[in-house]
Amino acid sequence: MALTNLQVRDLETVLHPYTNQATIRDTGTLVLERAKGIYVYDVDGKPYIEGMAGLWCTALGYGNEELAETAYEQMKKLSFTHLFGGKSHDPAIELAEKLKEKAPVPISKVFFVCSGSEANDSQIKMVWYMNNALGRPQKKKIISRLRAYHGVTIASASLTGLPANHTDFDLPISGILHTSCPHYYRFGLEGETEEEFASRCAQDLEDMILREGPDTVAAFIAEPVMGAGGVIVPPKGYFEKIMAVCRRYDVYMIADEVICGFGRLGEWFGSSVLGYKPDAISVAKALTSAYMPVGAVMIPEEMYQATIIESKKTGTFGHGFTYSGHPVGAAVALKTLEIYERDRIIEKAAAKAPQFQAHLQALADHPLVGEARGVGLVGALEMVAHKPTKKAFEAKAGLGAYATAIAQEEGLIIRNLGDSLAICPPLIITPEEIDDLFDRVARTLDRTL
């Protein structure tokens, strides 16, 4: 396929994140120009259903005039002020108030960042800081999970439990450990019930804490449903058992709600859907429906008190980004949350979930699909070479990437996570559009076979 002039210029200049640099020159890039509703359009005007809400983030879809107006008005009014040293502004204050009001657990303060990676990086720094403040400097290890995704900065990439984020980046850093992944379809044993599998995962965590020494383990971090690891929905009872272990050994619990927050699973926070009561929460993505890069770290009183203790020691809480609480980002986030409430976006997403999940489950019968799984308006189809044995395709077959290329021909953007095809449309998708989306998924699977 001959590359267009724009594609050639792109490949001459842009290093694309999360892209196979060895093959991108052959496949070329998809250059997008505009978007409206759930559709994005390429430079030739071809429409695609954005079946991944960008990267799990454009909950309100594209071209939302209210959000654009809000950004424009805030840029004219106060385009920037930072929050360092006691400066503040109305949108940041109101946004923090709103996040505290919506939080599923008691939150003392909200610390603003620009991305999910920065949120989780900040969580780790704060945990270390808190345990120093509390006079327990040996309690520093953080436990994450295999296949978790928490970002790409040095610390958050260390939390991530995927090989491509570690290999030859010399990660993970020491003190970050990975316990088992709660993927029942892949890792459940022959004859083991979901409940037994959940108990085994909790036992793995407890064994790890005991092996390391409970007085050295500071925190456990988890996404309610693992996103980039393959849309992995934990087995029934999983978080209840995991929480009991964490509480037993005084291990601080962080919920990474970067994907699951703001309605993706059918409630404001995914942890509520999965019965997980964290101490602290990371959010980003749908906080602004991706109209601006904004994230937040929501912390409990105990953590806030630690920042006071340390400030007395060193003269300041020595952490913060230039753009922490950027006024334009804060104003857009606030408006996004207002729209979620006013237009009952989250309740409506929950009401559409049964239709979405029924479509997904109907595809479980497809000869290529080993498992269909999901919650709310997110799901995945795991493609396998042999259904009865769950045998995976050879990695080098690159079936997932092949399927997403076919989907693109069908006018559908989905994402392959290995051989699992992830589907995560904007929450504003209509029932008719859900039908259309899954028709395209079905055609993609038939053509991939």
Question: Where along the sequence are the contacts to ligand PLP (CB under 6 A)?
Answer: 55, 115-117, 120, 149-151, 223, 227-228, 256, 258-259, 284
Cβ closest to ligand PLP, residue 221 vs residue 412: 221
Min dist CB 406 to ligand PLP, Å, is 24
Contacts of 412 (CB under 8 A, 6+ apart): 48, 49, 51, 437, 440, 441, 444
Q: β-strands 280-283, 295-299: how paired?
A: antiparallel
Min dist CB 8 to ligand PLP, Å, is 28
Cβ closest to ligand PLP, residue 104 vs residue 370: 104
Helices vs. strands in the chain: H and E counts, helices first? 16, 15
* Extended strands (E) in 139-205: 141-145, 176-179
Min dist CB 256 to ligand PLP, Å, is 5
* Extended strands (E) in 67-113: 109-113
**Residue 136 to residue 218: CA distance in whole angstroms:** 10
Farthest CA pair distance, the chain: 64
DSSP letter, residue 120: H
Contacts of 309 (CB under 8 A, 6+ apart): 133, 134
Contacts of 161 (CB under 8 A, 6+ apart): 144, 145, 146, 147, 148, 149, 178, 181, 229
Cβ closest to ligand PLP, residue 226 vs residue 383: 226
Min dist CB 149 to ligand PLP, Å, is 5
- In one-letter notation, the amino acid at residue 231 is V
Main-chain phi, psi angles of 125, to 5 degrees: -55, -40
* Tokens of residue 26, six digits: 């052959």
Q: How far is CA 277 from the centre of its chain?
A: 18
* Strands of the sheet with 47-50, listed across from one edge: 32-36, 39-42, 47-50, 412-413
Q: How far is CA 248 from the centre of its chain?
A: 28
Give the residue closest to ligand PLP by C-beta: 116
Please give the helix or strand (H or E) that residue 39 lies within, else none. strand 39-42
**Residue 55 to residue 414: CA distance in whole angstroms:** 10
The alpha-carbon radius of gyration of the chain (Å, integer) is 22
* Tokens of residue 403, six digits: 């399927």
